[in-house]
Each structure stands twice: as C-alpha cells, then as structure tokens.
Amino acid sequence: MPASATPGTQWKDGFPFVANSLVLDFVNTRPVIGGTAQELLPDFNALLRWFGAVELLTARDVGALRRRWRNSTRARRVLAELREFREDLRREVLSWEGGISLHRSTIDRVNFLLAKHPMIAVVRQTEDGARKELAFESHQPENLFAPLALAAATLFTEVDRSRVRKCRQCVLHFVDTSKKGARRWCSMQTCGNRLKVAAYARRRRRARGGDD
C-alpha cells in the first residue's frame, strides 16, 4: 500500500501530496487557499480521482466504481462519511501533535473500521519475483475506508509523534522524514519560499529604517 504519491510530488491531479503519510495526505484534501478553505472532495468522482492519484485504485477500478456508483445515494453517503472521518482525524491529529493522548472515541472508531473494512494480504508476481502486498476489495464504496483506517492506525502507533507537524504557514500536515528533523513547512517550493521572502522583506524594511 503506498504511503503517499511519488516522493517529491507537490500536487498530482489537483491534490497536494506533501505529507509522507497516506492518511495525512487525505486530511490535506481540505486546504486553505487564499484564506478560504477549499473542499477538494466535493463529489464521489473527486474522491475516486484522489484514490487514483495516490495509486490505491487503478484506472480500471476508478472507471468501474464511477460507472456503477457515481450518482447513487450510497456513494453520496459514503463520501459524507469519509469527509466526516477526515475532519475527525484532523482534530485528533492537531491534539495528538500537541502531546495529548489519543481519545478513546478515535481508537474505537479506527478499530471498528479496521474490523469492518480490513486490508488483506495478497501475493503478486512482479518482474523481480513474487511479492506480498496489502490490498482491499474495491467493488463497493464503503471499501474505500479500508486503506485509510489502516493508515490512521499506522500513523498513531508507528510514527514518531514529534515528527508529525502542521505547516507553520498553512493548514497542511506532514511527517518530517528528514535526517535532521528540522522541516517546518509543507513544502519549500510554496510555504517555505513565502516565509523566506517575507522574512527578507522585513529585514530590508528594518535596514531602510535604520538608515533614516
């Protein structure tokens, strides 16, 4: 199961992938752009595009799910439930980053989803030989909970909490996998550069003021 999109990718198919964590990339599908929260999963089709972008679904899987479910009440319900799960995770991650233990309600919900929508081990033949992978049945909309529940469990149990952070400039979260552990921004290309430019402008203003 992929942890995120291709390493180094900032945006893919209209979604940010800066987190080094599947579940945090999912949380990041409601960024703030221009001071306004932007819903990147407005409909079931967008949800399927995200699952395709993160390579949890093949193009064939996406097409099959879209054809069968896109205008259904069931798909809309699952989308609403997934977005609710996302926002609950956002609140939990913010709390957890701050040093607060996981809430019992979050643990219970993740455990419920793991039991109801499990990932399964499968063997696949590759050019380098047989390989064991985790997979999930993708025929029903509810199955989309499976990789997200496992990713949430992995984040909360296997990732060093001190390495999980919210960008200093925006609302995106990430796991700092750098050797020094000094990452402070979602990406150097966006928020990091903006902060550096702003700091430079402040220094210039102070210097001009000192010359007057």
Domain residue ranges in the chain? 11-211
Arithmetic mean of pLDDT over the chain: 87
Is 163 strand, coil or helix? helix
Alpha carbon separation from 45 to 21, 39, 62, 63, 145 (Å, rounded): 22, 13, 9, 10, 16
Tokens standing for residue 66: 């879209």
**pLDDT at position 201, please?**
42
Residue type, 195: L
pLDDT in tens, 49-72: 999 999 999 999 999 999 999 899
Taking the domain 11-211, which CATH number applies?
Answer: 1.10.3300.10
Contact (Cβ atoms closer than 8 angstroms) between residue 105 and residue 91: no
Highest averaged pLDDT of the listed ranges 6-15, 132-141, 175-184: 132-141
| Mean pLDDT to the nearest integer, 98-115 | 97
Global pTM exceeds 0.75: yes
On the question of pLDDT at 26 being above 50, the answer is yes
